[in-house]
């Protein structure tokens, strides 16, 4: 599959990727390297991984990062309760200590977490490591080991090598700088807010029955509102939510009902300050400009 | 932008190696192995289509947003000699040995050897003595290094100040990140909390069914910055303000105050995303900037207003001042003593401390020293960098 074919495939699955992103995904796949996607929240970074899993018809395994994420939650953990019950039962039946030990530290007592699960799939899955910037630097170091060798060492069992190399997608909102070591191992792409043409294509893909006039108005309005001084600019996800809301409200022209338009802005604007900064007069001005 | 100078090369691998060198000269780190891998990438695409090559190299080599945005310019300057076109307008003499290629000719991967028009990778300033001074990576590095060690009151040009702002913000962000009191992650996970396990096991007939692990409560450090904006501190005020803005960022657990003869809270103004509005808010508070200093009185006001409310064991107070005070030093002493009683960490950054032969002997500083956890210079960006390590230990 060439990069243009990949781009078309993504488009068929309702993900409109720009050339840069399509090329980055293609190279990452061909070189079997992770891809690091950076960009504002809501520009479609996570959706890339979901769509890739659909394109390659494979499983999507997601690891949501957070502060304090450790190997027990991301790689593996022993099923302690089961081990304990097994020991109790074995004592009653008079089993040998070595037998008990080899049994309770076998695979059946291992609880696989996303990273271990990802490297044990027969068909290469898409491994989404979401919001890596939220995890600690130490977790990044664990990750480096796994991403470079695609193998995990469990002291009680040994080294588990990947049966198939997963397609790894890392996303970051840029809340902190990632280490150079991690960046170096990844193919990088910065996902910007889409331009007008791309956004219109996304909208018509997602809402094929939407009237072209309303689609144009929505895209123009969202493009304009992003230029306003906002704390949190609306991303694609917000734009799609807003479209769904407008459709649900039965609005065919955003200039027709100022009150309904203003009320529906809760789908686009996510903070109180932003809602205050776009009063009805401003939303009307933007709507008239979009019409 | 430094433009790399190379002799004319004919093979793809040499040209790619030269391009990697060009990227390195422009501050983009590329490993030697990347050159070889890059050739693999080019095999995957149509290498005669320069747009495809551009996209592929951009995806492959760029590792952060800033570089990602710069790439197109770097690509054009190397493969299409855009830089040289500009140079030729500036200095006609240079085009004696060079020919400009059309941007539309995708000849970058032709391997048949140089033709009359194929001189795109002839050294830009080959035979030109200016090459070393205008396009050398070392010169850039030296310039950056100098900025790190230059006293910040000498930052007079806007671009220097911008650079200082960016560096100061980066450092401040790094410091804030380091200040978290979370434990270092262990590969085996958090250690067991035996006390809680035993307590919990009572309900399961003494069987420790639930393994509980030690977790520290998530209580990150509360940062408070106090900047002296009196007359003697005016040359540093802008950069310090940038530093404190970086420190604050969008974190609601940080607070910033300016003081001269009065104390002003500027947290909300600095958090404002709208630069113009922030500037307006700050200018409204600017009365008294560049005037006298009453450090003791201001710290006393700070204690009165905020001591019980926002200060505690998890607070870090950073005072940025030269210590020249018109107040009685005893007021400063009593204010600091009260401040320290709250259990907070107290850091005093003094730009004069970085000056040659400066001795902290004035009455205010000598009064303050016993209460300080750290007394450090802050007149250069390198001092700020060193601060990061000091704060980690605190």
**What is the SS3 assignment for chain B?**
CCCCCCCCCCCHHHHHHHHHHHHHHCCCCCCHHHHHHHHHHHHHCCCCCHHHHHHHHHHHHCCCHHHHHHHHHHHHHHHCCHHHHHHHHHCHHHHHCCCCCCCCCCCCCCCCCCCCCCCCCCCCCCCCCCHHHHCCHHHHHHHHHHHHHCCHHHCCCHHHHHHHHHHHHHHHHHHHHHCCCCCCCCCCCCCECHHHHHHHHHHHCCCCCCCCECCCCCCCCEEEEEEECCHHHHHHHHHHHHHHHHHHCCCCCEEEEEECCCEEECHHHHHCCCHHHHHHHHHHCCCCCCCCCCHHHHHHHHHHHHHHHHCCCCEEEEEECCCCCCCCHHHHHHHHHHHHHCCCEEEEEEHHHHCCCCCCCCHHHHHHHHHCCEEEECCCHHHHHHHHHHHHHC
State residue B99's pLDDT score. 35
Would the pLDDT of B95 be above 70? no
ipTM (interface pTM): 0.81
Q: Specify whether B238 is located in the same domain as B345.
A: yes
Judging contacts by C-beta atoms under 8 Å, the chain B residues touching residue A187 are 59-60
B152 within domain boundaries? no
Q: How are beta strands A167-172 and A35-39 bridged, if at all?
A: parallel
Of A19, A186, A229, which has the smallest distance from its Cβ to B273's Cβ?
A229
Closest chain B CA to residue A230: B273
**Upper half-sphere CA count for residue B184 (Cβ side, 13 Å):** 5
Q: Give the 3-state secondary structure of residue A170.
A: strand
Domain stops at, among B217, B237, B259: B217
Q: Specify whether B235 is located in the same domain as B351.
A: yes
Listed ranges B95-104, B183-192, B275-284; the one with the highest mean pLDDT: B275-284
Residue B391 token pair: 């704060």
Q: Specify whether B243 is located in the same domain as B333.
A: yes
Number of independent structural domains in chain B: 3
Judging contacts by C-beta atoms under 8 Å, the chain A residues touching residue B37 are 31
| Cβ-contact B346, B337 below 8 angstroms | no
Q: Specify whether B201 is located in the same domain as B259.
A: no
- Window 285-304 of B, Cβ < 8 Å to A: none
B3 within domain boundaries? no
Q: Which domain holds residue B315?
A: 222-393
Q: Specify whether B376 is located in the same domain as B258.
A: yes
State residue B360's pLDDT score. 79
> Nearest Cα to B64, choosing from A179, A152, A80?
A179
Average pLDDT over chain B, rounded to an integer = 71
| Cβ-contact B1, A154 below 8 angstroms | no
Residue B286 neighbours by CB under 8 Å, 6+ apart: none
State residue B136's pLDDT score. 40
Q: Specify whether B241 is located in the same domain as B389.
A: yes
Stated pTM of the model: 0.64
Q: Give the 3-state secondary structure of residue A46.
A: helix
Q: Specify whether B199 is located in the same domain as B250.
A: no
Judged by a CB distance cut-off of 8 A, whether residue A38 touches chain B is yes
Would the pLDDT of B35 be above 70? yes
Q: How are beta strands A187-191 and A76-78 bridged, if at all?
A: unpaired
B196 within domain boundaries? yes
pLDDT tens-digit map of A204-229: 888 888 888 889 989 999 999 888 87
pLDDT tens-digit map of B164-175: 666 666 666 655
Of B40, B51, B215, which has the smallest distance from its Cβ to A31's Cβ?
B40
Judging contacts by C-beta atoms under 8 Å, the chain B residues touching residue A31 are 37, 40-41
State residue B6's pLDDT score. 52
B173 within domain boundaries? no
CA A247 from chain centre, in angstroms, equals 26
B241 within domain boundaries? yes
Q: Specify whether B228 is located in the same domain as B370.
A: yes
pLDDT tens-digit map of A148-196: 888 888 888 888 888 888 999 999 987 667 888 888 888 999 998 888 8
Q: Which CATH superfamily is domain A3-68+116-191 in?
A: P-loop containing nucleotide triphosphate hydrolases (3.40.50.300)
Judged by a CB distance cut-off of 8 A, whether residue B186 touches chain A is yes
Judging contacts by C-beta atoms under 8 Å, the chain B residues touching residue A186 are 63
Q: Specify whether B117 is located in the same domain as B200.
A: no
Mean pLDDT of B209-222: 71
* Torsions phi, psi for A134 (to 5 deg): -80, -20
Domain stops at, among B135, B160, B176: B135
Q: Specify whether B207 is located in the same domain as B228.
A: no
Q: Specify whether B385 is located in the same domain as B320.
A: yes
- Window 139-158 of B, Cβ < 8 Å to A: none
Domain stops at, among B72, B104, B135: B135
**What CATH code is carried by the domain that includes residue B303?**
3.40.50.410
For chain A, which ranges sit under pLDDT 70?
175-176, 291
């Amino acid at each position: 599959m060439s990069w243009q074919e990949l781009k078309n495939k993504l488009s068929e699955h309702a993900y409109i990727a720009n050339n840069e992103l399509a090329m980055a995904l293609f190279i990452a796949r061909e070189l079997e390297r992770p891809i690091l996607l950076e960009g504002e929240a809501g520009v479609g970074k996570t959706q890339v991984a979901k769509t890739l899993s659909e394109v390659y018809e494979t499983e999507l395994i997601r690891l949501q990062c957070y502060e304090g994420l450790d190997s027990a939650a991301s790689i593996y953990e022993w099923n302690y309760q089961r081990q304990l019950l097994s020991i109790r039962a074995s004592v009653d039946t008079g089993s040998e200590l070595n037998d008990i030990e080899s049994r309770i530290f076998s695979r059946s007592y291992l609880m696989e977490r996303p990273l271990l699960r990802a490297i044990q799939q027969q068909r290469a899955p898409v491994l989404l490591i979401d919001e890596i910037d939220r995890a600690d630097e130490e977790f990044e170091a664990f990750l480096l080991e796994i991403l470079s060798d695609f193998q995990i060492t469990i002291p009680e069992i040994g080294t588990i090598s990947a049966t198939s190399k997963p397609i790894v997608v890392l996303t970051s909102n840029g809340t902190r700088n990632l280490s150079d070591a991690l960046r170096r191992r990844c193919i990088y792409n910065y996902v910007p807010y889409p331009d007008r043409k791309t956004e219109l294509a996304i909208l018509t893909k997602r809402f094929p029955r939407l009237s072209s006039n309303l689609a144009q108005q929505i895209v123009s309005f969202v493009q304009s509102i992003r230029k306003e001084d906002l704390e949190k600019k609306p991303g694609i996800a917000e734009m799609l939510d807003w479209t769904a809301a407008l459709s649900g409200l039965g609005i065919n022209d955003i200039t027709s009902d100022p009150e309904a338009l203003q009320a529906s802005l809760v789908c686009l604007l996510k903070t109180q300050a932003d809602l205050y900064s776009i009063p009805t007069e401003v939303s009307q001005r933007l709507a008239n400009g979009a019409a | 932008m430094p433009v790399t100078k190379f002799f004319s090369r004919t093979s793809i691998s040499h040209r790619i190696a030269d391009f990697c060198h060009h990227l390195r000269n422009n501050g983009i780190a590329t490993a030697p192995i990347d050159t070889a891998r890059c050739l693999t990438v080019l095999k995957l695409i149509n290498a005669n289509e320069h747009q495809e090559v551009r996209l592929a190299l951009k995806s492959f080599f760029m590792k952060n947003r800033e570089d990602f945005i710069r790439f197109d310019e770097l690509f054009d300057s190397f493969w299409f000699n855009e830089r040289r076109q500009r140079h030729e307008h500036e200095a006609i003499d240079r085009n004696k040995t060079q020919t400009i290629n059309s941007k539309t000719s995708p000849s970058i991967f032709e391997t048949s050897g140089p033709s009359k028009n194929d001189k795109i990778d002839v050294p830009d300033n080959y035979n030109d003595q200016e090459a070393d001074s205008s396009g050398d990576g070392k010169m850039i590095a030296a310039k950056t290094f100098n900025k790190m060690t230059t006293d910040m009151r000498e930052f007079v040009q806007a671009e220097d100040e911008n650079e200082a702002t960016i560096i100061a913000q980066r450092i401040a962000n790094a410091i804030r990140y380091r200040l978290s009191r979370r434990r270092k992650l262990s590969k085996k996970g958090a250690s067991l909390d035996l006390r809680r396990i035993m307590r919990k096991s009572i309900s399961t007939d003494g069987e420790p069914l639930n393994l509980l692990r030690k977790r520290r409560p998530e209580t990150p450090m509360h940062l408070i910055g106090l900047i002296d904006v009196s007359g003697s501190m005016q040359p540093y005020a802008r950069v310090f303000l940038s530093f404190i803005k970086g420190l604050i960022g969008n974190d609601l657990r940080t607070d910033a105050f300016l003081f001269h003869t009065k104390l002003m809270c500027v947290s909300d103004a600095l958090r404002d995303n709208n630069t113009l509005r922030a500037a307006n808010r700050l200018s409204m508070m600017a009365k008294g900037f560049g005037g006298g200093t009453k450090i003791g009185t201001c710290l006393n006001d700070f204690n009165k207003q905020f001591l019980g409310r926002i200060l505690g064991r998890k607070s870090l107070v950073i005072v940025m001042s030269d210590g020249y005070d018109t107040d009685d030093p005893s007021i400063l002493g009593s204010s600091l003593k009260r401040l320290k009683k709250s259990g907070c960490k107290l850091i005093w950054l003094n730009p004069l401390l970085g000056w040659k032969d400066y001795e902290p002997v004035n009455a205010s500083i000598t009064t303050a020293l016993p209460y300080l956890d750290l007394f450090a210079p802050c007149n250069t960006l390198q001092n700020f960098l060193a601060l990061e390590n000091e704060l980690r230990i605190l």
